[in-house]
C-alpha cells in the first residue's frame, strides 16, 4: 500500500461541515478509489482516476470540491461559479448533483444542474441567482455560455466525469471548448472507466502533472460482480429472462436491450407475465425517466429495462442483477452495464445472453476484459448449437426461428472469473497544488 493509511474519513482533515455530510451519508470507510484519490485531490493536485462507476468515484471528486470551497470562500457578495463538473448524460449530472447536495448539506454551498432536453428557464434562474458548483452536460452548458448567462472565468476546480463516455458520445470537441473557457490556473480531475488513446491525449493536454489513480485493472469489471453468460436462441431470450427472475434471488434487476423498441417490448411482455417492470430510454421525456427511476429506487418496480444511453450514470443501490438481454457490440458498454450492480461494497450478478449471432460480440467482450466469463446452461434452454455449428463450419448463419426448446440437462461449471481489485500506476511527480 503506497497511500497513507486512510481507513476512516477522519484522516483526511475535511472541514467539519463536510465531514458531517459524509457521516450523514452513512459512510464509514473510504472505498479504494477514495482512499487513493482523496489525499491528492485535497491537496489541489490534478488527478486522473481510472475507475468505473460503482467504485465511489463521485465522492472522490465531490468531497475535495466542497472542502476547498468551504475553506477558501470567495468573499465577495456575488457567487461566482468556482467548480464545474462536466458529465456525458443528464442522469449522471443529476446524480452528481444529488451527491453534492447530500455531502454538502451542512456547507451552505449552492449547486446547479445544467442539462438539455428540458426548458431553460429554471436553470437560467438558478445561474442568475448565483451558484458555487455547476454540474453540466456539454451541450446545454455551451448554449448558456453562448447566451452569456454563465461565466466560467472564476472556476478553480474542473472535473470531467466519465470522459471515455463523452468521447463515445462525440462530445470531445465540446469538452475542449468548455476547458478553453476555464482559467488555466485551476485543479483538473478526469475520471474515466477506460483510457483509450484519445482520452490519454485529452488528459495530457488539459491536466498539469497529474497523479494517476487506478482502481482494479483497467479493463476489469467491478470485482464485486459475478459474471455469467448463457448461450440461448434469440427466440428464447424472453422466456429465459422470466425464468431467471423466478429462480434467481432478484432484489432489483436492470435488463439491457439493444434498442428502445426492444426495451418496450421486453417490458410489455414482463408486464403481461405478471412482473413489475418499467422501461427507461431516450424516447421518454425527462420527467418520465425521472419518475421511472424513482419508482425503481423506491422498489415499486423490481425490473428496469433500459438502453445503454438511458442507463448511463444510473446510480441505484441494491441492484442485485444486471441482465444483458442483448450482448453489447461495444465491449466498453459491457463494463458500463455490469457496473450498475455490485456498487460500492455490495455484490451483484451480471448475466449475459448470447445468441448465435452475438457470438462475436461475446468473444470481443472476453478479449477486452482479458478473462473468460463463466458459461452456464439453464435447464430447458438449449444453446443454439446448430446455428453455431453451421457458423463455425462456414455455413450460412441461421437463427433458431422455430423457437422449440429441446431438453438438455443443466450443467453449471466452466471457469469462475471473479475479478481482482488492486491499485497501482501511481508515481510522484509533484504537482502545482495551487489554484
Ligand atoms: P459512484 O461510483 O460514485 O457512483 O458510487 C457508487 C455508490 O457507492 C453510491 O451509491 C454511493 O452512495 C456509494 N458510496 C460511495 N462512497 C461510499 C463509501 N465510502 N461507503 C459506502 N458507500 C459509498
Mutate to test the pocket of ligand 1, among 36, 59, 93, 340 (most ligand atoms within 8 A of CB): 59
Cell 497529474 identifies what position?
210
247 CA → ligand 1 middle, Å: 29
Rounded to the nearest angstrom, the gap between the alpha carbon of residue 329 and the centroid of all alpha carbons in its chain is: 18
Cell 470481443 identifies what position?
364
The parent domain of residue 257 ranges over 225-411
* Weakest-pLDDT range from 232-246, 297-311, 421-435: 421-435
* Weakest-pLDDT range from 25-29, 135-139, 217-221, 291-295: 217-221
Is residue 420 in some structural domain? no
Q: Does 376 lie in the same domain as 304?
A: yes
Q: Round the average pLDDT of the chain to a whole number and report it.
A: 83
Domains: count for the chain: 2
Mutate to test the pocket of ligand 1, among 343, 347, 421 (most ligand atoms within 8 A of CB): 343
Q: Does 187 lie in the same domain as 110?
A: yes
Question: What value does the mean pLDDT take over residues 275-295?
Answer: 83
Domain end (from 192, 214, 236): 214
Q: Does 320 lie in the same domain as 177?
A: no
158 vs 82: CA distance, rounded Å:
9
168 CA → ligand 1 middle, Å: 25
Domain end (from 179, 214, 249): 214
Mutate to test the pocket of ligand 1, among 31, 36, 41, 88 (most ligand atoms within 8 A of CB): 31
**Residue 143: pLDDT over 60:** yes
Q: Does 178 lie in the same domain as 78?
A: yes
What's the pLDDT at 307? 87
Q: Does 210 lie in the same domain as 231?
A: no
Is residue 434 in some structural domain? no
Q: Does 318 lie in the same domain as 193?
A: no
Contact 175, 87 (CB under 8 A): no
* Maximum pairwise Cα distance, the chain: 75
Q: Does 132 lie in the same domain as 36?
A: yes
Question: What value does the mean pLDDT take over residues 304-329?
Answer: 84
Atom of ligand 1 nearest to the CA of 52: 2
Q: Does 115 lie in the same domain as 41?
A: yes
Q: Show the ligand 1 pocket: residues with CB < 6 angstroms.
A: 27, 29-31, 34, 53-59, 315, 317, 343-345
CATH of the domain at 288: 3.40.50.300
Is residue 196 in some structural domain? yes
Structure pTM? 0.61
What's the pLDDT at 382? 76
**Residue 430: pLDDT over 70:** no
Which tens digit of pLDDT belongs to each residue from 182-203?
A: 999 999 999 998 888 899 999 9
Q: Does 232 lie in the same domain as 208?
A: no
195 CA → ligand 1 middle, Å: 22
Is residue 407 in some structural domain? yes
Atom 8 in ligand 1: which residue has the minimum CA distance? 344
Residue 71: phi and psi, rounded to 5, are -80, -25
Mutate to test the pocket of ligand 1, among 56, 92, 316, 346 (most ligand atoms within 8 A of CB): 56
What's the pLDDT at 291? 85
Q: Which SS3 state, helix, strand or coil, does residue 248 take?
A: coil
Q: What percent of the chain has pLDDT over 70?
A: 82
152 CA → ligand 1 middle, Å: 29
Question: What value does the mean pLDDT take over residues 252-265?
Answer: 93
Domain end (from 183, 214, 245): 214
What's the pLDDT at 280? 87
Is residue 426 in some structural domain? no
Atom 10 in ligand 1: which residue has the minimum CA distance? 317
What's the pLDDT at 413? 29
295 vs 312: CA distance, rounded Å:
17
Is residue 309 in some structural domain? yes
Contact 352, 230 (CB under 8 A): yes
Q: How confident is the model at residue 140 (pLDDT cuts 50, 70, 90)?
A: very high
Question: What value does the mean pLDDT take over residues 175-181?
Answer: 97
Could you tell me which of 128, 89, 133 has the C-alpha nearest to residue 112? 133
Atom 1 in ligand 1: which residue has the minimum CA distance? 56
Q: Does 303 lie in the same domain as 168?
A: no
Beta strand 47-50 pairing with 211-215 = parallel
* Sheet hosting strand 47-50, strand order edge to edge: 111-114, 133-136, 83-86, 157-160, 187-192, 47-50, 211-215, 423-424
Selected residue with higher pLDDT from 2 and 53:
53
What's the pLDDT at 389? 53
Q: How confident is the model at residue 330 (pLDDT cuts 50, 70, 90)?
A: confident
Is residue 394 in some structural domain? yes
Q: Does 156 lie in the same domain as 289?
A: no
426 CA → ligand 1 middle, Å: 23
Is residue 2 in some structural domain? no
Cβ within 8 Å of residue 405, ≥6 positions away: 236, 239, 380, 381, 382
428 vs 414: CA distance, rounded Å:
42
175 CA → ligand 1 middle, Å: 26
Specify the DSSP class assigned to residue 210.
Answer: P
41 vs 56: CA distance, rounded Å:
14
Q: Does 241 lie in the same domain as 138?
A: no
289 vs 190: CA distance, rounded Å:
27
Amino acid at each position: 500500500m503506497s497511500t497513507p493509511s486512510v481507513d476512516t474519513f477522519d484522516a483526511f482533515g475535511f472541514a467539519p461541515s463536510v465531514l458531517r455530510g459524509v457521516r450523514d451519508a452513512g459512510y464509514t470507510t473510504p472505498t479504494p478509489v477514495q482512499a487513493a484519490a482523496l489525499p491528492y485531490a485535497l491537496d489541489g493536485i490534478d488527478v486522473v482516476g481510472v475507475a468505473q462507476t460503482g467504485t465511489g468515484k463521485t465522492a472522490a471528486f465531490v468531497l475535495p470540491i466542497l472542502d476547498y470551497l468551504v475553506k477558501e470562500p470567495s468573499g465577495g457578495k456575488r457567487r461566482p461559479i468556482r467548480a464545474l463538473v462536466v458529465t456525458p448524460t443528464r442522469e449522471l449530472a443529476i446524480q452528481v448533483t444529488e451527491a453534492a447536495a447530500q455531502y454538502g448539506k451542512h456547507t451552505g454551498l449552492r449547486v446547479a444542474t445544467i442539462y438539455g432536453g428540458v426548458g431553460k428557464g429554471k436553470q437560467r434562474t438558478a445561474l442568475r441567482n448565483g451558484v458555487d458548483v455547476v454540474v453540466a452536460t456539454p451541450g446545454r452548458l455551451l448554449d448558456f455560455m453562448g447566451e452569456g448567462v454563465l461565466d466560467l472565468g472564476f472556476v478553480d476546480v474542473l472535473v470531467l466525469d466519465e470522459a471515455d463516455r463523452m468521447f463515445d458520445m462525440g462530445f470531445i470537441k465540446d469538452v475542449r471548448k468548455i476547458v478553453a473557457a476555464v482559467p488555466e490556473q485551476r485543479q483538473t480531475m478526469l475520471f474515466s472507466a477506460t483510457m483509450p488513446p484519445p482520452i490519454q491525449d485529452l488528459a495530457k493536454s488539459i491536466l498539469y502533472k497529474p497523479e494517476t489513480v487506478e482502481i482494479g485493472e483497467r479493463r476489469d469489471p467491478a470485482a464485486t460482480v459475478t459474471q455469467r453468460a448463457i448461450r440461448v436462441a434469440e427466440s428464447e431470450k424472453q422466456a429465459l429472462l422470466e425464468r431467471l427472475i423466478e429462480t434467481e434471488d432478484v432484489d432489483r434487476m436492470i435488463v439491457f436491450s439493444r434498442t428502445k423498441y426492444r426495451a418496450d417490448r421486453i417490458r410489455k411482455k414482463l408486464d403481461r407475465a405478471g412482473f413489475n417492470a418499467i422501461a427507461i430510454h431516450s424516447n421518454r421525456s425527462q420527467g418520465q425517466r425521472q419518475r421511472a427511476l424513482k419508482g425503481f429506487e423506491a422498489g415499486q418496480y423490481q425490473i428496469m429495462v433500459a438502453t445503454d444511453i438511458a442507463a448511463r450514470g444510473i446510480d441505484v443501490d441494491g441492484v442485485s442483477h444486471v441482465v444483458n438481454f442483448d450482448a453489447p457490440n461495444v465491449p466498453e458498454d459491457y463494463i458500463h452495464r455490469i457496473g450498475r450492480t455490485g456498487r460500492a461494497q455490495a455484490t451483484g450478478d451480471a448475466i449475459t445472453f448470447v445468441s448465435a449471432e452475438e457470438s462475436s460480440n461475446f468473444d470481443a467482450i472476453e478479449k477486452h476484459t482479458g478473462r473468460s466469463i463463466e458459461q452456464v446452461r439453464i435447464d430447458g434452454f438449449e444453446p443454439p448449437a446448430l446455428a453455431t455449428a453451421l457458423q463455425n463450419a462456414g455455413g450460412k448463419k441461421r437463427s433458431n426461428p422455430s423457437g422449440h426448446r429441446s431438453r438438455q440437462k443443466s450443467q453449471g461449471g466452466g471457469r469462475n472469473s471473479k475479478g481482482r481489485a488492486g491499485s497501482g500506476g501511481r508515481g510522484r511527480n509533484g504537482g502545482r497544488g495551487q489554484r
